[in-house]
Amino acid sequence: MNVREVRIVLTRLQSYAGLVFLLLFVPTAVVGCQTLRSSEPIVPIAEYEKMLVGRLDADYVGTENCLAACHYHDQIRLDFEASTMGAQMAADSDLPMIDCESCHGPGSLAIQGLTPEKVAVDAAAGRQTPCDYETLIVLKALPAQAQSLLCLKCHTANATFNLHEWNAGAHALGDVSCFPCHDVHAGPDLITSPKDTKEMCFKCHREQAAEFRLPSHHPVMEGKSFCTDCHQPHGTFHDNLLREETVRATCVRCHGEVEGPYLYAHADLMNDDCTICHADHGSVNNNLLKLSEPYLCLQCHVGHRTSSDPATGETKGVFYTRCTDCHSQVHGTDVPSASGRGNFTQ
């Protein structure tokens, strides 16, 4: 079988694969649409009982029954109701439904024995009426995965694609739940500002916090670039949660002037990994270089001659201060050097 025949076979295989894809995709989509419409809105269901160990007798009582008589959570309630998620409590909002019990579990045991009259008496006496909150789900005691499940339960059915790689991502598998970064009671505005992200990340990633204090660094400490410019904390198929498919693809998003492709490339260094030469967060060397020049380059390259002027050592100074004074196009170039090769000098 010659090359042409192989290509024809491959092309046909691709066509068949596409056909198989459509045959599977279309029925799944049609059946799936119907299922989703009939199951909307999302309601608190079975999984929560599993978390209420030993108290399967609890029942859902609704937010009004839970909070109407107790004013302790008024501000939290107000903030939450005004948030995007709280708005979903409106039956006419066309959004999936969610309320306090969606996360805190069924509340019937917590308010057992409480009456509006008792609350009124306590209020008159200047007391708050405590509910038996220990019968609710103790969220802090849940494993990280169960905490995340509370969020994922709704966010799995509304095409939330920033969570596409969440489950097999480094945070989920590292026992980091949604809670350390997202606080649904933070106020009515639940969207995170990029300015807040470094505090979230540095709570755990202290080594990186120190790296950003080195003399050469990306301006994260200054609040002028953000962890989320490069990383997607919700998970990606890259091991370090990089936003793009490779280190290089992530870097050239902002550093387009060195993206290439070039006629004269730095072997295949430019194919994927800028971190062979550059530190990603901070470095003691200028331009985030991992090691200072010329040692950085000498790790792979034979240095220029050192003994052409033994009296003054002048060429040593020229050749061994910064290689990039002459090889300035080290990321790649389209212009051949005087020798006709790609020495990155032109």
Kindly report whether the peptide bond that precedes residue 180 is cis, defined as omega within 30 degrees of 0: no
Backbone dihedral angles phi then psi of residue 197, each to the nearest 5 degrees: -70, -35
Q: Specify the residue, 127 or 286, whose C-beta has the smaller distance to other proteins.
A: 286
Identified binder of other proteins from the candidate list 58, 66, 99, 129, rule CB under 8 A: 99
**Region 172-191 residues binding other proteins, contact defined as CB under 8 A:** 173-175, 188-189, 191
Binding mask 122-151 for other proteins (x = CB under 8 A): ---------------------x-xx--x--
The residue among 299, 287, 279 whose CA lies nearest residue 324 is: 287
157 scored as a contact of other proteins (CB under 8 A): yes
What is the biggest distance separating any 2 CA atoms in the chain, rounded to whole angstroms?
101
Q: Are 333 and 262 in contact (CB under 8 A)?
A: yes
215 scored as a contact of other proteins (CB under 8 A): yes
Binding mask 316-335 for other proteins (x = CB under 8 A): xxxxxxx-xxxxxx---xxx
Which neighbouring-strand residues pair with 278?
289
Q: Specify the residue, 123 or 345, whose C-beta has the smaller distance to other proteins.
A: 345
Q: DSSP per residue over 7-47, as a string?
A: HHHHHHHHHHHHHHHHHHHHHHHHHHHHHHHHHPSP---TH
Shortest gap between Cβ of 144 and other proteins (angstroms)?
9
Shortest gap between Cβ of 70 and other proteins (angstroms)?
16
Question: Hey, what are 206's tokens?
Answer: 């202290």
Question: How far from the centroid of its chain's Cα atoms is residue 150's Cα?
Answer: 18
Q: Are 277 and 344 in contact (CB under 8 A)?
A: no
| Rounded CA separation 74/128 (Å) | 12
Identified binder of other proteins from the candidate list 2, 3, 94, 140, rule CB under 8 A: 94
Count interface residues toward other proteins (CB under 8 A): 158
306 scored as a contact of other proteins (CB under 8 A): yes
Q: Specify the residue, 14 or 128, whose C-beta has the smaller distance to other proteins.
A: 14
Shortest gap between Cβ of 85 and other proteins (angstroms)?
10
**Region 39-78 residues binding other proteins, contact defined as CB under 8 A:** 39-41, 43, 45-47, 62-64, 78
The residue among 186, 36, 175, 59 whose CA lies nearest residue 111 is: 59
Q: Specify the residue, 41 or 122, whose C-beta has the smaller distance to other proteins.
A: 41
